[in-house]
């Protein structure tokens, strides 16, 4: 045959590196020679306790369950490089045409894993007579088999540990942490995995050093098995006392792991019949119980089971289970601490928020609290002079008690600034100055204080609604634009400049916008984080908010249902408001002349309308005196034009307006002084009073409780 007609050599199949390494480093090698039919014609001395003549004549596939049976067939194809000797050399382990994984059950019934290498042999090989050795291709195969069961177990443990380190502890949710553990270990390391946590730990109580008290309840928090939840002794979420004595209670008591081979006659089965029944149902034959403990404190217990068809656990698996439990315990403790801190921060946050929005006569309000990781979302409704209402939402980024206390500081500052009757843009400017000071205080903390390295970022939206002009005057600092729905259900689009977040030393100035709100409109203010917007799979926002004339709490529930926790993991606060119709009879305005007769006219007007409003006599006398004092001051020290406005809501407000921008100051007159007592008397009669400014006038006002 010409050289060109010779079959070309078939390159060896690349062997998996891990399998090849296991073959090369194996301490014991078993050798066989097989013919073209894969029948063993020669065997070495190490043949699983069998004499070589008991193996000779059997098919190789009867001795080993090859993962890739075609690997031996490919090694016999024509053109494969051939050997001239059946004696294995030092390099034969790594130079075989193919390396495959194979399995064999030992006399004890345990499955063993082998790396098998195939070496083609020429027809003149020094072997026993080979049937039908003529023809193309190798006459026989030299087969080398190495038991790599131990290496495979170590590799499986390493892979399981890598999976646990990669997945477990990424979340600070304790339930997710435990669920990730069982997901990472089943079915690789265990056929069944169960995690049970001391219930007090889940409730945020401080974990005490040492084992839990006898009878302390445990909650099953994670389970994974071959049948899902079917056959489990107890469902996930079940809380029960741990029966004693069992391997589980003993491990939890002395904080030491247990390796138990589950034979049918174990005495503790009677103590815990539910687990015994589950063990029998799953066919579990081997168990590792390891405590979840950190610094001598018991947090729970983890159990690993192997069932029929899997190798029993050994001491190496027990040591590995302890390593897994230690890593899990650290993650569980981190999640527990976070949960406790989050609970404390949420409690502080709730305490610092109003118990419920006040509902002045002109605005109906409600709030929706969407819980999440953030503990700095807040809202407020503030009654202002003249029947006006301030609507506020804000947010401090972060979580924990420090975030909640910072939120409380800013909310208190907003209330104090609102009492000064500042315009929204000026109020936000001063609030920003306060936030800058708080940020500077953080930066000055010691280097070791974690709060120093957390920048302060906060947002706020502040708006004032006047029911008599129907104007909502609003400004925002980094907050989302509110949603406004008209009474007919159509959205009201408007332009509201954003403004920089609070604590920004440089940024765009705050700008006020005025929006006219019809009575019956719906206003939805969001604290930030994840704004309300249309999202795939969720109902459109406008559809959720319609019809707008429903009860505000019903609308709030609809928003909550439409935006599940996954849509707002940081949490948020929503403030819902609906302006209401105000009767013109609730307000009276009269222009006053700039002459000494103005106080008398003002008293007459006040007396007439107070009688119509059926104001109690003690309040009537106080209002009449306040009106007289305010108008007298305006005539003597103010600038025309002058006007008087009386507003009756849940209080009675007296307002005197003049064009002077100079405000009076309360002082305490001495015994011999002839003046200076008017504002002092008014301050004693009014529940509160103050001054606010417009672009061309000032208004001095006083409120009297009815």
User: How many domains, in total, are found in the chain?
Assistant: 4
Statement to judge: residues 139 and 193 lie in one domain = no
Backbone angles phi, psi at 605, to 5 degrees: -60, -45
* DSSP letter for each residue of 105-167: E-TTS-EEEEEEEEEEE-TT-SSSPPTT--SSS-SEEEEEEEE-HHHHHHHHHHHHHHHHHHH
175 C-beta neighbours (distance < 10 Å), count? 18
Statement to judge: residues 379 and 272 lie in one domain = no
Its domain, for residue 614, covers: 584-705
Instruction: Tell whether omega for the bond before 383 is within 30 degrees of 0, i.e. cis.
Output: no
Does a structural domain hold residue 143? yes
Q: What is the DSSP letter of 267?
A: G
Segments of the chain with pLDDT less than 50? 1-15, 20, 24, 81-96, 127-129, 133, 671, 673
Statement to judge: residues 125 and 169 lie in one domain = no
**Contact (Cβ atoms closer than 8 angstroms) between residue 394 and residue 459:** yes
Q: Per residue in 320-376, pLDDT tens?
A: 889 889 888 898 888 888 777 777 777 776 777 776 656 567 899 998 887 777 778
| SS3 label, residue 665 | coil
Task: Please tell me the predicted confidence (pLDDT) of residue 162.
Answer: 81
Strand partners, 365: 577
Does a structural domain hold residue 350? no
Does a structural domain hold residue 347? no
| Domain termination residue (choose one: 100, 119, 147) | 147
Residues 6+ apart with CB under 8 A from 108: none
What are the Cα distances from residue 43, in Å, to 51, 61, 118, 130?
A: 9, 14, 14, 14
| Domain termination residue (choose one: 317, 342, 367) | 342
Statement to judge: residues 408 and 543 lie in one domain = yes
Find the distance separating the first CA and the last CA of the chain, reported in whole Å.
121
- CATH code of 334's domain: 3.30.450.40
Statement to judge: residues 332 and 480 lie in one domain = no
Statement to judge: residues 569 and 612 lie in one domain = no
The first and second tokens of residue 127, run together, are 């072997």
Residues 6+ apart with CB under 8 A from 350: none
Does a structural domain hold residue 249? yes
Statement to judge: residues 231 and 259 lie in one domain = yes
Does a structural domain hold residue 439? yes
Statement to judge: residues 117 and 185 lie in one domain = no
Does a structural domain hold residue 595? yes
Residues 6+ apart with CB under 8 A from 143: 31, 32, 33, 34, 60, 72, 116, 117, 118, 119
Q: What is the DSSP letter of 243?
A: P
The 3 state secondary structure assigned to 532-600 is CCCCCCCCCHHHHHCCCCCCHHHHHHHHHHHCCHHHCCCCEEEEEEEECCCCHHHEEEEEECCCCCHHH
Of residues 395, 685, 358, the one with CA closest to residue 529: 395
Q: Give the C-alpha separation, 229 to 216, whole Å.
A: 25
- CATH code of 556's domain: 3.60.40.10
Statement to judge: residues 310 and 456 lie in one domain = no
Task: Please tell me the predicted confidence (pLDDT) of residue 515.
Answer: 94
- CATH code of 47's domain: 3.30.450.20
| Domain termination residue (choose one: 513, 544, 579) | 579
Of residues 433, 432, 569, 452, the one with CA closest to residue 501: 432
Residues 6+ apart with CB under 8 A from 435: 410, 456, 458, 502, 503
pTM confidence score:
0.64
| SS3 label, residue 100 | strand
Where does residue 577 rank: exposed (0-12), middle (13-18), buried (19+ CB within 10 A)?
A: buried
Task: Please tell me the predicted confidence (pLDDT) of residue 17.
Answer: 54
- CATH code of 679's domain: 3.30.565.10
Sheet of strand 642-648, all strands in order from the earlier edge strand to the far edge:
587-592, 642-648, 651-658, 698-705, 688-693
Of residues 190, 184, 272, the one with CA closest to residue 234: 272
Does a structural domain hold residue 429? yes
**Contact (Cβ atoms closer than 8 angstroms) between residue 467 and residue 580:** yes
Does a structural domain hold residue 691? yes
Statement to judge: residues 553 and 463 lie in one domain = yes
Q: Give the C-alpha separation, 600 to 333, whole Å.
A: 75
Statement to judge: residues 600 and 694 lie in one domain = yes
Statement to judge: residues 496 and 543 lie in one domain = yes
């Amino acid at each position: 045959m010409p050289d060109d007609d010779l079959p070309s050599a078939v390159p060896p199949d690349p062997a998996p590196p891990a399998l090849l390494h296991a073959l090369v480093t194996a301490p014991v090698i078993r050798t066989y020679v097989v013919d073209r039919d894969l029948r063993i014609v020669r065997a070495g001395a190490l043949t699983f306790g069998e004499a070589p003549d008991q193996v000779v004549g059997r098919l190789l596939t009867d001795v080993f369950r090859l993962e890739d049976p075609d690997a031996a067939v490919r090694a016999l194809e024509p053109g494969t490089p051939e050997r001239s000797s059946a004696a294995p050399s030092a390099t034969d382990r790594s130079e075989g045409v193919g390396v495959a994984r194979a399995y064999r059950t030992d006399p004890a019934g345990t499955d063993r894993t082998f790396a098998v290498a195939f070496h083609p042999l020429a027809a003149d090989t020094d072997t026993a007579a080979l049937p039908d050795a003529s023809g193309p291709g190798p006459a026989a195969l030299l087969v080398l088999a190495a038991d790599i069961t131990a290496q495979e177990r170590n590799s499986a443990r390493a892979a399981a540990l890598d999976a646990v380190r990669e997945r477990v502890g990424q979340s600070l949710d304790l339930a997710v942490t435990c669920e990730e553990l069982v997901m990472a270990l089943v079915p690789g390391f265990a056929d069944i995995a169960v995690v049970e946590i001391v219930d007090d730990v889940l409730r945020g109580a401080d974990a005490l050093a040492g084992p839990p008290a006898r009878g302390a309840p445990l909650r099953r928090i994670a389970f994974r098995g071959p049948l899902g939840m079917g056959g489990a002794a107890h469902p996930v979420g079940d809380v029960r006392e741990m029966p004693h004595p069992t391997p589980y209670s003993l491990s939890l008591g002395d904080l030491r792991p247990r390796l138990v081979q589950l034979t049918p006659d174990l005495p503790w089965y009677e103590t815990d019949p539910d687990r015994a029944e589950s063990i029998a149902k799953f066919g579990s034959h081997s168990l590792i119980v390891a405590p979840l403990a950190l610094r001598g404190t018991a947090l729970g217990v983890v159990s690993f089971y192997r069932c029929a068809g899997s190798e029993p656990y050994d001491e190496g698996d027990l040591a590995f289970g302890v390593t897994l439990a230690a890593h899990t315990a650290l993650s569980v403790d981190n999640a527990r601490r976070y949960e406790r801190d989050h609970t404390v921060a949420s409690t502080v946050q709730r305490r610092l928020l109003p118990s419920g929005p006040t509902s002045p006569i002109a605005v109906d309000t409600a709030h929706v609290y969407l819980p999440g990781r953030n503990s700095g979302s807040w809202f407020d409704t503030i009654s202002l002079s003249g029947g006006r209402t301030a609507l506020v939402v804000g947010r401090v980024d972060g979580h924990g008690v420090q975030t909640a206390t910072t939120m409380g500081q800013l909310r208190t500052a907003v209330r104090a600034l609102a009492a000064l009757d500042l315009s929204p843009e000026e109020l936000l400017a001063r609030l920003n100055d306060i936030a800058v000071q708080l940020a500077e205080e953080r930066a000055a903390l010691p280097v070791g204080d974690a709060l120093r390295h957390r920048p302060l970022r906060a947002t706020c939206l502040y708006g004032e609604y006047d029911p008599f002009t129907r104007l909502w005057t609003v400004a925002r600092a980094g907050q989302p634009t509110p949603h406004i729905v008209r009474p007919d259900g159509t959205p009201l689009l408007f332009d509201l400049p954003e403004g920089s977040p609070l604590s920004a030393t440089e940024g765009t100035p705050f700008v006020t916008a005025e929006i006219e709100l019809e009575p019956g409109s719906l206003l939805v203010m969001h604290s930030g984080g994840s704004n309300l917007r249309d999202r795939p799979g969720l109902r459109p926002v406008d559809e959720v908010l319609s019809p707008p004339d429903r009860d505000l709490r019903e609308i709030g529930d609809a928003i909550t249902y439409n935006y599940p926790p996954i849509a707002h993991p940081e949490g948020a606060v929503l403030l819902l408001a609906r302006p209401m119709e105000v009767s013109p009879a609730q307000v009276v305005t009269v222009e006053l002349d700039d002459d000494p007769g103005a106080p008398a006219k003002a008293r007459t007007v006040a007396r007439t309308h107070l009688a119509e409003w059926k104001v109690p006599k003690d309040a009537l006398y106080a209002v009449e005196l306040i009106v007289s004092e305010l108008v007298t001051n305006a005539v003597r020290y103010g600038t025309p034009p002058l006007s008087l406005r009386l507003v009756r809501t849940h209080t009675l407000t007296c307002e005197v307006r003049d064009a002077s921008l100079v405000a009076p100051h309360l002082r305490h007159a001495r015994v011999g002084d002839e003046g200076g007592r008017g504002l002092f008397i008014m301050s004693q009669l009014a529940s509160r009073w103050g001054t606010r400014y417009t672009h061309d006038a000032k208004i001095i006002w006083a409120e009297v409780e009815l």
